[in-house]
Amino acid sequence: MNKDYSLLKVKAIKLRRKGLSYNEIRKQINISKSTLSYWLKSVPLKSEHKKRLYTKSVFGLARGGQSQKERRLKEVNKIIEAAEKEIERPLSFEAYRLFGAALYWAEGSKGKMFQITNSDPHLILFIVHWIEKICGIPPNGLTLALNIHSQQNEKDIKKFWSDLTGVPIRNFTKTYIKKFTTGFKKNNLYYGTVRIYLPKSADFKVRLFGWIKSVLKDIDHKIQVVENRWNKLRKNSRPVNLY
């Protein structure tokens, strides 16, 4: 052991006798934990020092999960910030049109008319703006319908969605109110869910799915080939509900 390590060992022993943990000592001298353990294994600790280190250890275990969540949250925020810079703004008309079409493909009704239901204010407001830009129909030409729980305030929730979207309250149809339940709900839908109706939209909806079909054209052949190969899956009879 050279002179430098000798001095470091002496300093480590002094710090340990003051009741510092290995990690606390390592912050003052750049030595591996295994080396500290070898140097300090025979250094006794006073009872008050043992108590402090034990309390610190317990607190660290309790805090560990929360610390991991906080670190992950910071990582996620950095990823999102970097990803935002990858998108060129303002969006082109084509990108904007197809983004709305994709949202409808995922979240919209598959019935005859254009209807989309969601609880996310971002999605709802985007669709309202999208309809105005793509179809030329302003918010006062739309119809909304709420789906809420019986313990929620229908009047205030209507005002919230009207304030957000610009759709007049007179354009809201009858609200569907779920019966009261005491069951545990993981997600609190403070604003309920809202459905957007686009009047006289049958032809427009067909056109929208034409846009989607155009985007998917490159994979259409592969899907047809595989579906034909597995056509036997379509021959299964529908399940019968015996209850």
Write out the DSSP string of the chain: --HHHHHHHHHHHHHHHTT--HHHHHTTS---HHHHHHHHTT----HHHHHHHHHHHHHHHHHHHHHHHHHHHHHHHHHHHHHHHTS-SSPPHHHHHHHHHHHHHHHB--SSSEEEEES-HHHHHHHHHHHHHHH---GGG-EEEEEEETTS-HHHHHHHHHHHH---GGGB-PPEEEPP--S--SS--TT-EEEEEETT-HHHHHHHHHHHHHHTHHHHHHHHHHHHHTGGGGGSPPP----
Sign of CA pseudo-dihedral 184, 186, 192, 193: negative
Mean pLDDT value across residues 228-236: 86
Closest CA to 94 of 215, 219, 218, 206: 215
pLDDT band at 1 (very low <50, low <70, confident <90, very high): very low
Tell me the HSE value of 130 on the side-chain side, using a 13 A CA sphere.
Answer: 24
Is 129 or 60 the better-scoring residue by pLDDT?
129
Provide the pairing of β-strand 114-118 with 193-198.
antiparallel
Q: At what angle do helices 33-40 and 3-17 cross, to 10 degrees?
A: 70
pLDDT in tens, 127-148: 999 999 999 999 999 999 999 9
147-156, 211-220, 228-237 — which is least confidently predicted? 228-237
Tell me the HSE value of 235 on the side-chain side, using a 13 A CA sphere.
Answer: 5
pLDDT band at 30 (very low <50, low <70, confident <90, very high): confident
pTM of the model: 0.69
The reported pLDDT for the residue numbered 85 is 93
Domain boundaries, the chain: 3-45, 93-218
pLDDT in tens, 149-170: 988 999 999 999 999 999 999 9
3-state secondary structure 144-185: EEEEEECCCCHHHHHHHHHHHHCCCHHHECCCEEECCCCCCC
The whole-angstrom separation of Cα 215 and Cα 209 is 10
pLDDT at 96 over 50: yes
The whole-angstrom separation of Cα 123 and Cα 107 is 10
Amino acid identity of residue 82, one-letter, is: A
The reported pLDDT for the residue numbered 160 is 97
The whole-angstrom separation of Cα 184 and Cα 85 is 39
Top mean-pLDDT range of 8-17, 28-37, 154-163: 154-163
pLDDT at 53 over 70: yes
